[in-house]
Structure 1
Amino acid sequence: MTYIVHGATGAQGTPVASLLSAAGHHVTAAVRTPSTYAGPGTAVAVDLSDTASLVEAYTGAEGVFVHLPIGSPDQQVAYARTIADAVDAARPGRVVLSTSGYTLDDPASAVSILAERLTASGVSSAVVQPRLYLENLLLPVVVGPVQQDGVLGYPVREDYAVSWSSHLDVADVVLRLLEDRAITGTVGVGALPGLLGSDLAEGFAEHLGRPVRFEAITPDAFEQLITPLFGPAASSVVDSYRWRATQPHELVDEETSAQRRLGITPRTVAQWLGDIGV
């Protein structure tokens, strides 16, 4: 039997596929174009707007790892419902959903709809809930000044604590949850205590062996930096940082954290940088 991995060519799915394969499991990458997949296992063509393609992929699967792709809220809700319909019909052995940094606070959001539908389906499931990804710090406009000038600029306040995690940390948790069906509900992934900007800078300094300082920048300034990279899509990213400016912190719940529920602690910033070879 196989494990279906959505986005197996992307940032979240690639480490999940690698860990599953290393643990001796067969992997089937759920992708739009199977010929482009060069990872472990095999690939199957799926279309998130086509329930039948998902049912065919999920039927007989040991487990499914899924996360919603970037899109408009309406697109994501449509994808969530298609995935849920397919799970209802195919009845895979297990489903693990990553919220990809989105919260579950809004019951009308796509991730909330999908999480609720998975629970209602009766199929064994769990939800992985990370906050901000350390990989965001690898944007050229962020990591470039770190390497050149020793300045880590990012659009969060100096006192804004975040449960940062990496895609590698999420993959560690996903593997455990796919293998252990006894664990259900939500598992938060991220650093506890939360990391400040100065903590991020210290992690870079430890890895690079030279001083790095944190500099809080405004969401508007960040928008100017990333718009050439992302085009119109930058506006929704920047809006999330405007929202963060109104919040006291962004921490996972300790009671439902991976540290408490699974005994899995996320990498430090320096460990993560070493693991990815920056």
Structure 2
Amino acid sequence: MTILVTTPNGSVGRYVTEALRDRDDVRFLVRSAAGAEALGAVRGEVVRGDAADPDTVRRAVAGVRRLYLAHPFAADQAAVETGLALAALDAGAHRVVKLGARPFTRPGMVPDPVTGAHDTITARLRDAGVPELTVLRPDRFLQNFLPSAAALAAGTLADPGGADAARGHVDTRDIAEVAVAELLADRPVGGDLDVSGPEALAPGDLAERFAAALGREVRFVDVPLDAAWRAGLAGRGVPAWHVEGLYGLYANYRREGVAGLGDGVQRVLGRVPRSAAEFAADLLAPAVGVPRTP
């Protein structure tokens, strides 16, 4: 059995890699020498190249039987992920564990480019008849707040997702553990697995969890989805299509309000998900120099 891991340095992929780096039957696809260096020492094979390049894909999928399929949000995401999966199927793969996104369930929601890309890819995989398909559908990643650790330590959680948008914020370590379990299982659970944290938290609630771990006040600031927000992203070099994708996603968070919780962690791992408080104590506090409480 050979397992191919794509995007092994991503928010979820880095933890998938950590769980599988000592196995000799795992292959990791990285884009560059810098990606290989970030990967660190692994026992299995490392393939370098662009996931959109047919020659790279052929080398990556040769002999693969199971595939962890992930790709950053990009203009060509649907084409790249679908191409990888179909090439893997042609090479003999029979199991795909795809990293997707939690769907919006409120009536009247407008499709957004981020979740829409995942819907397109999943539909193509089903049409292709993947024998064993698991689609991980996580809510908002807690790890996405780590780049704002300095601002949080200074007392501000600024977020454009809406003050009343209570989400099942999920620790990406849990997503990775579910992915690895599905990759390695003799009989995977399969199907759509909604993955979330144990409670739906509005941004103000999340700020309170972070404040407790950091030992200081953290105040939520609602960032409006306006021209200034767009200009700020553009000024940091974010392409216009990416800004529009994020706008659609955050607008849907605001429209949906309170999201339901997923049971994927319990179904696959038999335990409750990690909480926002655990994430903050384990990862956020150390990121700003606050020692973890024993």
| Global fold match (TM > 0.5) | yes
Q: Is the 2:156–2:219 Cα contact (8 Å) retained in structure 1?
A: yes
* Deviation, structure 1 residue 130: 0.9
TM-score, L = length of structure 2: 0.79
Structure 2 residue matching 1:160: 3-state secondary structure: coil
Matches within 5 A, 1:253-268: 253-254=262-263, 257-268=264-275
Is the contact made by 1:204 and 1:270 (CA closer than 8 Å) also made in structure 2?
Answer: yes
Provide the residue aligned with 1:116 in structure 2. Answer: 123
CA RMSD of aligned residues (A): 2.8
> Paired residue for 1:172?
177
CA offset digits 1:32-77 (Å, max 9, x no partner): 23574132233113433344532432232342111133212xx223
Corresponding residue to 1:59 among 57, 62, 72? 62
For 1:249 and 1:68, how far apart are their aligned partners in 2?
A: 27
Counterpart position of 2:92: 91
Q: Assess if the C-alpha contact under 8 Å between 1:51 and 1:85 holds in 2.
A: no
In the alignment, the residues of structure 1 paired with residue 24 and residue 172 of structure 2 have an alpha-carbon distance, to the nearest angstrom, of 20
List alignment gaps of at least 5 residues for structure 2: 106-110, 288-294
For structure 1, list consecutive stretches of 5 or more residues without a partner in the other structure.
none
Cα distance between partner residues in 2 of 1:237 and 1:128: 20
Ranked by relative contact order (alpha carbons within 8 Å, sequence separation 6 or more), the top structure is: 2
Bigger Cα displacement from structure 2, 182-191 vs 52-61: 52-61
Map Cα deviations across residues 199-230 of structure 1 (whole Å, 9 max, x no partner). Answer: 21122112112222323231225445544334
Map of 1:237-256 to 2, 5 A cutoff?
Answer: 237-254=246-263
Alignment of 1:147-166 (within 5 A): 147-148=153-154, 150-166=155-171
How far apart are residue 139 of structure 1 and its match? 3.2
Paired residue secondary structure (1:139)? helix
Classify the secondary structure of the residue corresponding to 1:49. Answer: coil
1:67·1:97 contact (CA, 8 Å) conserved in 2? yes
Deviation at 1:93, TM superposition (A): 4.5
TM-score (norm 1): 0.83
Farther-moved stretch of structure 1 (61-70 vs 257-266): 257-266
Q: CA deviation at 1:94?
A: 2.3
Percentage of identical aligned residues: 26
Amino acid at match of 2:86: D
Match of 1:270 among 262, 270, 277: 277
Q: Give the length in aligned residue pairs.
A: 268
Q: Does 1:133 align with 2:133?
A: no
Greater mean alpha carbon deviation, residues 167-176 or residues 205-214: 205-214
- 1:225–1:272 Cα change, 3 Å: farther
1:82 corresponds in structure 2 to 83
Relative distance call for 1:113 and 1:155 in structure 2 (3 A) is: closer
